[in-house]
Amino acid sequence: MNLGVVTINLPRIAIEAQGQTDVFWEILEDRVQLTKKALLTRIKRCKEARPENAPILYENGGFGQRLKTTDSVDELFKNSRATVSLGYIGLYEVGTAFFGPQWENNPQAHDFTVQIVKYLHDACLQWEKEYGYHFSVYSTPAESLTDTFCEADLQRFGRIPDITAKEYYTNSFHYDVRKNPTPFEKLTFEEDYPQYAAGGFIHYCEYPNLKQNPAALEAVWNWAYDHVGYLGTNASIDHCYECGFDGDFKPTAKGFECPQCQNRNPETCDVVKRTCGYLGNPMIRPMIHGRHQEIAARVKNLRAGDLNAD
């Protein structure tokens, strides 16, 4: 029961701030207020619905309460029953703009980016008190925004190394996919951000084929249980039905292909990649350019030397 999401392009704000943190906060406040207006417009539009527009949801109890035809649907939305999402994208690019592309191990940079998410969270708390709907921060997975926002900024600001030049923006708070921290290092870095994201988030780690060492996965899961709330596991499960290859298909400019026989026929191969929050087959449903670039750039979070660990 979400009344809508509006996502803020954080990398653009960082670019516009030109290294000045005080300017960044000023621009961010302006964008937050603009986002507030957009979300209030979404709420107003949703409240125009009538119970008869979606009888299963409104009249038959799909939302937990049965309304009469003459009732206002707002009875199901108000008193914080419905969520309204303030999204954000590109904390990695923001950190890069102010502290350089290797900032993940810089405590000052980490604290700065955490404060950004907390700032959004605090705004949502204030709006909830003011309007009575559950405004909440959404760590936007950016299935298409990873491309849309970056492409717009490429045209406006040109190719900025490690920001627009990658041709994609990083999902919400995620560690730079081009680096290979261990799963424990990656999740330790990320775990401070979701406490301010009641509207949703996901962590995930990339793995090679671990059929011979499932204990390695179990070790990560056991550790993560007490650290993060939602963890995806991306393993190498692509399969070619022409040559029998199992593993990771090779990313190319035209999509993905079998590294063994160069098969690209979607009818004779099965490719599974995590777009972000969900798994999909890019051979059947091709990814948008920026998302393909991001997936192609991902490296494993478990190195070859770790496979023999008990």
Residue 278 lies in a domain: no
What is the mean predicted confidence (pLDDT) over 161-180?
96
Of 242, 241, 238, the residue nearest 250 (C-alpha): 238
Contacts with 151 (C-beta within 8 Å, 6 or more apart), sequence order:
167, 289, 290
Q: Provide the terminal-to-terminal Cα distance of the chain, rounded to the nearest Å.
A: 44
Q: How far apart are CA 109 and CA 164, in angstroms?
A: 19
Residue 51 lies in a domain: yes
Q: How far apart are CA 50 and CA 161, in angstroms?
A: 50
- 308: pLDDT strictly greater than 60: no
pLDDT of residue 270: 93
* CA 57 vs CA 41, 48, 49: distances in Å: 22, 15, 12
Residue 121 lies in a domain: yes
Residue 290 lies in a domain: no
Predicted confidence (pLDDT) per residue in 191-245, tens digit: 999 999 999 999 999 988 888 888 988 999 999 999 999 999 988 889 999 999 9
Q: What is the H or E stretch that residue 215 is in?
A: helix 214-224
CB atoms within 10 A of CB 144: 14
Residue 18 lies in a domain: yes
- 310: pLDDT strictly greater than 90: no
Residue 27's domain comprises 2-202
Q: How far apart are CA 72 and CA 64, in angstroms?
A: 15
Residue 197 lies in a domain: yes
Residue 220 lies in a domain: no
Number of domains in the chain: 1
Q: How far apart are CA 103 and CA 109, in angstroms?
A: 6
Mean pLDDT of the chain: 93
What is the mean predicted confidence (pLDDT) over 65-69?
94
| Full-model pTM | 0.92
Phi and psi at 222, nearest 5°, equal -60, -40
How are beta strands 269-270 and 203-206 bridged, if at all?
Answer: unpaired
Cβ pair 307, 212 in contact under 8 A:
yes
Residue 301 lies in a domain: no
The confidence band for 278, taking pLDDT boundaries of 50, 70 and 90, is: confident
Q: How far apart are CA 193 and CA 266, in angstroms?
A: 38
Structure-block tokens of residue 246: 């199992």
Predicted confidence (pLDDT) per residue in 253-276, tens digit: 888 999 999 999 999 999 998 877
Predicted confidence (pLDDT) per residue in 70-92, tens digit: 999 999 999 999 999 999 999 99
